[in-house]
Amino acid sequence: MRVSFSYLDRQFADLEPYLKRIADLVRTGDFTLGKPLVEFEERFARLCGLPHAAGVGTGTDAIAISLKVLGVEPGDEVITTPMTFIATVGAIVQAGARPVFVDSEDGLTIDPEKIEAAITPRTRAIVPVHYTGNVAEMPRIAQIARKHDLLVVEDACQAIGASIDGKPVGSWGETACFSLHPLKNLNVWGDGGVIVTRSRDLAEKIRLHRNHGLVNRDEVAAFGVNSRLDTLQAAVGNELIAQTGFITAKRIEHARRYDAALEGLAEHVSIPRRRPAVKHVYHLYVVRAERRDELLAHLQRNGVEAKVHYPIPVHLQPAARHLGYVEGDFPACEADAKRIITLPAHQHLTDQEIDYTIRQVRAFYGK
């Protein structure tokens, strides 16, 4: 049996409704900041339970633009975690700031109890990452941010639909940033990103900044960038967005099936902390595994496209060398990088495929 990590072939087996939307758009020629984009932004904001959404070029740009528009400047420090995809940190660098890392906790998100020790007079913002689709400890992080007068930009690129006690991601930060990359839970046919915010004023500034700072065709308020969400991608998003509930529910169902089965392998596999109040949306289903690399090879040999997200923490990447971190600085993240493994859990898998994956994990440990 082959258990695929990607689901694009299954997801887009019926292309017709997407192609119809694209044909409609092509006929209007409304390609730049067009009507389908406005519709998508309204629907995305509603889906997130927040009043404003602005489409931008990528999830990376969503973070960088948020920081820029909020006034983060060169020389400022921005706290985040090395347990993330490189883009979180790349976006902080793109905004001109210096990334400062704080170790991760058992649930693979930033450890709030270690944040205050990393704050200096130069700290301007915290970028918690809702890594894997789990929500960082936002009430505590927001409290720390208030105490030290810091901005919060939530990296929710992996966490559409996630919440704590029913409060959606984006409820705590100045903004929350989403990616529409083809392998994200809500995806389009290329790159795309969205910024959501509770502030009308901030939403207006973001809309200006993503479009060169143009107030109208002839006047520029402040220099910006060209990072508009492509209207064609918004048209794809308008077709898919209604499926977000199904996508999230299926991923949660698969994760519960894995959790229940893997609890029986507790001496070999450990499940990251699950907080009952958190709606984790399982962009990635990650567990810690003994002899991880051997398990990975075993699964791949047997047709299961397991992966590792990611074997090298960001602070140990060559790109981060100038920041001066060394091995041993973030023990939790570093230990996890050696033992985490991602099992396929996407919405188009069948129970049989999940059960086959479970059987393969069990077989590897001789169960």
Ligand X SMILES: Cc1ncc(COP(=O)(O)O)c(C=O)c1O
Q: Is 282 in the site for ligand X (CB under 6 A)?
A: no
- How many whole angstroms separate alpha carbon 27 and alpha carbon 32? 14
Which CB sits closer to ligand X, 92 or 295?
A: 92
The SS3 call for residue 218 is coil
293 CB contacts (<8 Å, ≥6 apart)? none
Q: Is 211 in the site for ligand X (CB under 6 A)?
A: no
Residue 62 beta carbon to ligand X: minimum distance, rounded to whole angstroms: 7
Q: Is 132 in the site for ligand X (CB under 6 A)?
A: no
Distances (CA, A) of 306 to 18, 83, 247: 30, 19, 20
Which residue is listed with tokens 């995809």? Answer: 85
Q: For residue 58, give the H/E element and its range.
A: none
Q: Is 34 in the site for ligand X (CB under 6 A)?
A: no
Residue 183 beta carbon to ligand X: minimum distance, rounded to whole angstroms: 8
Which residue stretch of 23-31, 46-54, 81-89, 145-153 sits at the interface with ligand X (rule: CB under 6 A)? 81-89
Q: Is 78 in the site for ligand X (CB under 6 A)?
A: no
**Minimal CA–CA distance to 247: which of 232, 260, 237, 233?**
237
Residue 306 beta carbon to ligand X: minimum distance, rounded to whole angstroms: 18
Q: Is 129 in the site for ligand X (CB under 6 A)?
A: yes
- How many whole angstroms separate alpha carbon 354 and alpha carbon 344? 8
Number of residues lying near ligand X (CB under 6 A): 15
Which residue is listed with tokens 């059960």? Answer: 355
Q: Is 88 in the site for ligand X (CB under 6 A)?
A: yes
Which residue stretch of 7-15, 20-28, 94-102, 155-163 sits at the interface with ligand X (rule: CB under 6 A)? 155-163
Q: Which residue is nearest to ligand X (CB)?
A: 59
Which residue stretch of 28-36, 47-55, 150-158, 356-364 sits at the interface with ligand X (rule: CB under 6 A)? 150-158
Which CB sits closer to ligand X, 100 or 159?
A: 159
Which residue stretch of 53-61, 95-103, 264-272, 358-366 sits at the interface with ligand X (rule: CB under 6 A)? 53-61
Q: Is 85 in the site for ligand X (CB under 6 A)?
A: yes
User: Following DSSP, what letter does each residue of 4-53 receive, concatenated?
Assistant: -S--HHHHTS--HHHHHHHHHHHHHT--SS-HHHHHHHHHHHHHHT-SEE
Which residue stretch of 7-15, 52-60, 103-111, 230-238 sits at the interface with ligand X (rule: CB under 6 A)? 52-60
Per the DSSP assignment, residues forming a β-bridge with 194 are 55, 178
User: Following DSSP, what letter does each residue of 122-175 receive, concatenated?
Assistant: TEEEE--B-GGGPPP-HHHHHHHHHHTT-EEEEE-TT-TT-EETTEETTSSSSE
**Minimal CA–CA distance to 106: which of 287, 280, 264?**
287
Q: Is 155 in the site for ligand X (CB under 6 A)?
A: yes
Q: Is 181 in the site for ligand X (CB under 6 A)?
A: yes
Buried b (16+ CB within 10 A) or exposed e, 343-363: bbbbbbbeeebbebbbebbbe
Q: Is 175 in the site for ligand X (CB under 6 A)?
A: no
Which CB sits closer to ligand X, 314 or 358?
A: 314
Which CB sits closer to ligand X, 58 or 231?
A: 58
Residue 176 beta carbon to ligand X: minimum distance, rounded to whole angstroms: 11
Which CB sits closer to ligand X, 56 or 358?
A: 56
Binding pattern to ligand X, positions 316-345, x when CB under 6 A?
A: ------------------------------
- How many whole angstroms separate alpha carbon 69 and alpha carbon 221? 13
Q: Is 103 in the site for ligand X (CB under 6 A)?
A: no
Q: Is 157 within 8 Å of 177 (Cβ atoms)?
A: yes
- How many whole angstroms separate alpha carbon 103 and alpha carbon 83? 8
Report the interface residues with ligand X, using CB under 6 A: 58-60, 84-85, 87-88, 129, 155, 157-158, 179, 181, 191, 193
